[in-house]
């Protein structure tokens, strides 16, 4: 299993990645600021899995979402809250060319499976505790 990354570690990695990734890259052809179905143009061979937001000791993480204000699941400005769905089911991937970070998970519905991806933006990461 990939290394578990808590919110503080994810934030640290995101800040470092943003400092490094200043030039355009093939991984930025499709805007991924909010959740998107994984575009066919995204070359998976250029990405390395560097961790997971799924804690080992939590076999069934919550499906509760953290969407304050008027944000929605698809919003580019929706917070990245690692303890909440869908982040708590995500792998963290890094582009081997530019170093940008992405979150990926598979959304499963009754008749479909959809691989989704979102860019990690340090300013949107929030370590919000789950309600008791």
Q: Tell me which of 132 and 11 has the higher pLDDT.
A: 11
Q: Where are the domains of the chain?
A: 7-124
User: DSSP for the chain?
Assistant: -PPB--HHHHHHHHHHHHHH--S--GGGSS--SS-EEPPTTS-GGGEEEEEESS-TT-SS--------TT--TT-TT--B-TTSTTGGG-EEEEETTT--EEEEEEEE-SS-EEEEEEE--GGGB--PPPP-
What does the pLDDT average to over 3-24? 94
Give the per-residue SS3 of 81-101.
CCCCCCHHHCEEEEECCCCCE
In this prediction, residue 18 carries a pLDDT of 95
In this prediction, residue 121 carries a pLDDT of 97
Beta carbons within 10 angstroms of residue 4's beta carbon? 14
Whether the predicted pLDDT of 16 surpasses 70:
yes
Place 12 in a pLDDT band, splitting at 50, 70 and 90: very high
pLDDT, tens only, 50-105: 999 998 887 788 999 999 998 999 999 999 999 999 999 999 999 999 999 999 99
What percent of the chain is predicted at pLDDT more than 90? 73
């Amino acid at each position: 299993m990939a290394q578990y990354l808590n919110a503080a570690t994810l934030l640290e990695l995101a800040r470092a990645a943003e400092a490094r990734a200043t030039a355009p890259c093939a991984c930025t052809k499709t805007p991924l600021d909010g959740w998107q179905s994984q575009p066919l143009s995204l070359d998976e061979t250029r990405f390395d899995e560097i961790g997971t937001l799924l804690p080992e000791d939590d076999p069934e993480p919550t499906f509760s979402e953290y969407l304050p204000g008027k944000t929605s699941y698809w919003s580019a400005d929706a917070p990245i809250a690692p303890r909440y769905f869908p982040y708590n089911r995500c792998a963290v991937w890094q582009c081997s060319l530019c170093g940008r970070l992405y979150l990926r998970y598979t959304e499963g519905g009754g008749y479909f499976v959809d691989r989704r991806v979102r860019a990690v933006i340090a300013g949107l990461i929030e370590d919000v505790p789950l309600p008791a």
